[in-house]
């Protein structure tokens, strides 16, 4: 089954990443079943997709008809059993190992096609840990998208020690040929390629704030104006979500035990306080009135 033969896609989780993945698959003409834990979470996911499609239409990237057709291809529900006929499923739930393992145990029971691909959007959890929760570990592959999914062109394709080359090739082919993404391959190590490089950079910026070395706004201005980065590290951490940043950092530190991966105390305190970044309205910056939180 090649990329063009994958017509039925499932997505588990409709947060920022899951809703974006569902949208790009539907925009590529695929039938999508999007599953969440409850109706409220589904409503938020649908609202995210609708808002994203409106932005695409206003930018001239989609017509009104194409927006409607995209939405019509997405079926939302709370029953993971609805994924039974899917040919490829992407898990995009919270970045926590036990929760992801439970999802893969459930998918292994309900997805019927013997050659279906079971993939994870994890940014740091070992793919082999998810693969061994199933009876088909050779068909489990990492497909790590980047936020915002409809805009960012990259997908990391991650093979575990148990993934078959056929499965990895099919997953990569789907990302490139069906979704029009660029793909890079990574070994199954915490952080893969991008986050293994990115997270130490973000943590260094947070340590600068914590030590009083410079303000969030000046740190970000330094990297945007001095290094031509499109966004400063603290604004980027807010966009990613400080809880997600902390989770990835913890996974990296657990695997490598290197100090550069250790989350600073300020990051942990902000997560405990619910200052999670853009999605919470406050992080290093206050998105309700343009102010900033300096810790």
- Which residues are annotated as catalytic? 123, 144, 156, 195
Question: Apex CA 191: angle with CA 186 and CA 194, to 5°?
Answer: 70
Q: Closest Cα partner for 18 from 72, 76, 92?
A: 92
Q: In whole angstroms, how far apart are CA 170 and each of 103, 143, 188, 247?
A: 22, 11, 17, 29
C-alpha span between 103 and 7 (Å, rounded): 22
In terms of phi and psi (left: phi > 0; alpha: psi -120 to 50; beta: otherwise), the region of 243 is: alpha
Question: What CA–CA distance (Å, rounded) separates 220 from 118?
Answer: 38
Cα of 165 vs its chain's centroid, Å: 23
Neighbours of 112 (CB within 10 A): 10
Q: Classify 98 as helix, strand or coil.
A: helix
Cα 55 to Cα 59: distance, rounded to the nearest angstrom: 6
């Amino acid at each position: 089954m090649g990329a063009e033969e994958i017509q039925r896609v499932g997505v588990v989780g409709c947060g920022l990443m899951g809703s974006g993945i569902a949208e790009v698959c539907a925009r590529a003409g695929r039938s999508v079943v999007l599953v969440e834990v409850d109706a409220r979470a589904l409503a938020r996911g649908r609202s995210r997709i609708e808002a994203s499609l409106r932005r695409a239409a206003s930018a001239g990237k989609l017509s009104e008809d194409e927006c409607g057709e995209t939405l019509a291809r997405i079926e939302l529900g709370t029953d993971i059993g609805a994924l039974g006929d899917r040919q490829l499923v992407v898990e995009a739930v919270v970045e926590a190992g036990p929760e992801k393992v439970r999802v893969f145990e459930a998918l292994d029971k309900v997805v019927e096609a013997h050659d279906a691909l079971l993939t994870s959007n994890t940014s740091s959890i070992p793919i082999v840990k998810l693969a061994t929760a199933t009876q088909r570990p050779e068909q489990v592959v990492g497909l790590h998208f980047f936020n915002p999914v409809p805009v960012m062109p990259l997908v990391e394709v991650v093979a575990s020690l148990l993934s078959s080359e056929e499965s990895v090739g099919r997953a990569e082919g789907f990302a490139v040929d069906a979704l029009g993404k660029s793909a890079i391959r990574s070994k199954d190590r915490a952080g893969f390629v991008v986050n293994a490089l990115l997270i130490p950079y973000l943590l260094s910026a947070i340590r600068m704030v914590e030590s009083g070395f410079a303000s969030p706004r000046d740190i970000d201005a330094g990297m945007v104006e001095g290094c031509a980065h499109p966004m400063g590290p603290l604004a980027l951490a807010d966009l990613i979500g400080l809880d997600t940043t902390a989770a990835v950092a913890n996974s990296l530190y657990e695997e490598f035990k290197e100090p550069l991966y250790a989350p600073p105390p300020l990051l942990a305190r902000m997560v405990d306080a619910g200052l999670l970044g853009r999605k919470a309205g406050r992080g290093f910056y206050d998105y309700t009135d343009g102010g900033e939180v300096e810790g």
